[in-house]
Amino acid sequence: MKYYVVLLSVLIERTWSTNDAPQQLKFPPWFKFGAATAAHQIEGAWNVSDKTPSVWDVFSHEKPSRIGDGSNGDVACDSYHLWREDIEMVTHLGLHFYRFSISWPRLLPSGFPDRISSAGRRYYSELIDGLLAAGVEPVVTVYHWDLPQSLQDLGGWTNPLVVDWFADYARVVFSLFADRVKTWITINEPLVFCDGAYTMGVYAPGVLSPDIGKYLCNRHALLAHAKAWRIYDQEFRDRYRGKISLANTITWYEPADGETDDVAEIVRQYGGGIFSHPIFSKKGGWPPVIAKMIAENSRRQGYPKSRLPPFTEKEIKFIRGTYDFYALNYYTSRVVRRARPGETIDAWPFFGAPELNVSLTVRPEWKKAPPSWFYINPVGIRHQIRWLKEQYGDVEVLIAENGYASHDPTAHDMDRVQFYKDHLEQVLLSIYEDGVNVTGFTAWSLMDNYEWMDGYVPKFGLFAVDFNDQRTRSPRTSASYYAAIIREHALIEPPEYLSVTQNATNTNTSYNSLILSFVLIVYFIK
């Protein structure tokens, strides 16, 4: 049956490709499209060969109640064994690039470079070579949350030595793969793995230390990124001419009715500025408004100095400028207002709300996706991109993640189609009306996978994965739509017969195409 679904997918793509997009809906010639995954979320094979446990292996095994469905990533999508099928999906979509991450404990079983796993090295090398043979650029994330548990036992991201541990690991990765990989992301979403772990305890390693731990993690993640960037810059760039940055997930914040923009800007500086200002601003260091607020809060709480550890002048210079582009992950938005006296502030899903004494809400017109934190506001991605330009100048922006989660495993995912259409429209407006240098878009995710604390319940995939069998991958309608956009290099309307609004004025052409698709499927089944 899988092949009949693929046939229908191809026929739908052919129908979409007949659209003639106006010039303003064309993407610039240099614009690239990709899709993304992460090692722990898809690879499985958690204890195969000499791989050692990551913090997520231990967290999900020892505390299954912290995972929405009690599951773990032991098998996940089994991409460690099925990577060739992953490449088939990538080529089916016609992607220009595929973003994936390397598992630190798979490549370096001890966490240190004393021994490189031959099995881990072979796996990633074969994946990279397979992508290149298919004409697809590998975009590699060095760290996507799977810290070796052996290093967590030594303090993990709260230990200042983690800066050197990460740098040593990154050097190994570059030495093995930089000859074939030209785009790198050092660290993915430090806001989440620092604040989510230490503020809420909902992410591995689940150590609650909201006052101290999360800010140590913040500081060390920035220094680790900077050290890895400088290693690449000094030791590998001249030979391989690649680009490297880190990826930040940023929620767009706007003021509630009756509030000034000042309160929203403070939240933006926390949510986006903490991991941007030290790298991308001209002065470097923590965002001044955030450093001042945390210092004042710390004094009121009885601490002798700020809980946000300051950078030395040498460290400020070391971190500043360590980028070649801005990698932005965008999903959702919030409305900000000042907290009322005596109001209880919830740290979820914005971990800094108690620190900033703000309350977050949403606008009633924002449609909710199934995950508790996910409200859809497509224009938010344009606002966020424009904010980055206002803050940091004409930096190149790569949208490194954007996608929609549902709880529906079926193939006909028109909500996801609409989500991508609406967000890509805002990306085009960012390029043509706001003059932002956006050079690429990455769909999250290539396929359904293990979504951390939510387990396998949210379905983000362009391809569905049947986790009850042999991890069979099947294209959804959104895969066909995304493939058509890539092929036409333009934003095109879904055919009327697949419209979310089910417009009654369907064209005969679209209707006949759908009938033809099903007739052919019936013919092949017979």
> Using the 8-state DSSP alphabet, how is residue 454 labeled?
G
Handedness of CA 221, 224, 228, 234 (dihedral sign): positive
Q: How far is CA 459 from CA 53, 81, 464, 501, in A?
A: 25, 21, 8, 22
In the predicted model, is pLDDT for residue 325 greater than 60? Answer: yes
Helices 79-93 + 477-488 axis angle, to 10: 50
Q: Which of 33, 31, 12 shows the shortest CA–CA distance to 94?
A: 33
Q: How far is CA 485 from CA 21, 25, 31, 95, 425, in A?
A: 10, 10, 12, 10, 12
pTM given for the model:
0.91
Q: With contact defined as beta carbons under 8 Å apart, do 80 and 123 qualify?
A: yes
In the predicted model, is pLDDT for residue 357 greater than 80? Answer: yes
DSSP 274-316: TTTHHHHSSS-SS-HHHHHHHHHHHHHTT-SS-SSPPPPHHHH
pLDDT score at 506: 36
What mean pLDDT comes out for the span 67-92? 98
What mean pLDDT comes out for the span 275-295? 98
Q: Which of 275, 273, 302 shows the shortest CA–CA distance to 290?
A: 273
- When computed from its CA atoms, the radius of gyration of the chain, rounded to whole angstroms, is 23
* Reduced 3-state DSSP string for 362-407: CCCCCEECCCCCCEECCHHHHHHHHHHHHHHCCCCEEEEEECCCEC
To which residue do tokens 């093995």 refer? 176
Is CATH 3.20.20.80 what the domain over 2-525 is classified as, yes or no?
Answer: yes
User: In this structure, what are the phi and psi dihedrals at residue 53, rounded to the nearest 5 degrees?
Assistant: -65, 145
Q: How far is CA 506 from CA 122, 222, 412, 467, 518, in A?
A: 51, 53, 18, 36, 17
Q: Which of 448, 445, 468 shows the shortest CA–CA distance to 457?
A: 448
In the predicted model, is pLDDT for residue 252 greater than 70? Answer: yes
**Rounded to the nearest 10 degrees, how much is the dihedral formed by the CA atoms of 366, 368, 373, 378?**
-50
Question: Which amino acid is located at 394 in the chain?
Answer: D
Residue 7's pLDDT band, with cuts at 50, 70 and 90, is: very low
Domain ranges of the chain: 2-525
Q: How far is CA 278 from CA 126, 222, 245, 267, 496, in A?
A: 36, 8, 13, 16, 47
pLDDT score at 409: 87
Query: Which distant-in-sequence residues (6+ apart) come within 8 Å of 352 by Cβ?
Result: 195, 267, 270, 271
> Which string of b and e fits 484-519 if b means at least 16 CB within 10 Å?
bbbbbebbbebbbbbbeeeeeeeeeebeebbeebee
Residue 23's pLDDT band, with cuts at 50, 70 and 90, is: low
Q: With contact defined as beta carbons under 8 Å apart, do 329 and 296 qualify?
A: no
pLDDT in tens, 153-168: 999 999 999 999 999 9
Q: With contact defined as beta carbons under 8 Å apart, do 153 and 52 qualify?
A: no
Q: How far is CA 363 from CA 260, 330, 455, in A?
A: 17, 18, 28
What mean pLDDT comes out for the span 117-143? 98
pLDDT in tens, 191-234: 999 999 999 889 999 999 999 999 999 999 999 999 999 999 99
Q: With contact defined as beta carbons under 8 Å apart, do 330 and 387 qualify?
A: no
**Rounded to the nearest 10 degrees, how much is the dihedral formed by the CA atoms of 311, 313, 316, 320?**
180
Mean pLDDT over each residue of the chain, to the nearest integer: 91
Instruction: Please return the burial class of 286, using the count of CB atoms within 10 Å of its CB with bins 0-12, 13-18 and 19+.
Output: buried
Q: How far is CA 511 from CA 15, 71, 375, in A?
A: 10, 42, 33
Residue 22's pLDDT band, with cuts at 50, 70 and 90, is: low
Q: Which of 518, 494, 522, 525 shows the shortest CA–CA distance to 507?
A: 494
Strand 438-444 to 137-143 pairing: unpaired
Greatest distance between any 2 Cα atoms in the chain = 79
Token pair, residue 60, equals 């999900």
Token pair, residue 470, equals 């042999």
> Using the 8-state DSSP alphabet, how is residue 102 labeled?
-
As a whole number of angstroms, the distance between CA 362 and CA 10 comes to 38
Token pair, residue 363, equals 């606008």
As a whole number of angstroms, the distance between CA 441 and CA 97 comes to 10
pLDDT score at 346: 77
pLDDT score at 496: 41
Instruction: Please return the burial class of 4, using the count of CB atoms within 10 Å of its CB with bins 0-12, 13-18 and 19+.
Output: middle
pLDDT in tens, 434-481: 999 999 999 999 999 999 999 999 999 999 999 998 999 999 999 999
Task: Just list the catalytic residues.
Answer: 189, 401
pLDDT score at 21: 52
Residue 413's pLDDT band, with cuts at 50, 70 and 90, is: very high
Residue 510's pLDDT band, with cuts at 50, 70 and 90, is: very low
As a whole number of angstroms, the distance between CA 151 and CA 165 comes to 9
Q: Which of 177, 212, 250 shows the shortest CA–CA distance to 401?
A: 250
pLDDT score at 389: 98
As a whole number of angstroms, the distance between CA 74 and CA 47 comes to 8
In the predicted model, is pLDDT for residue 75 greater than 50? Answer: yes
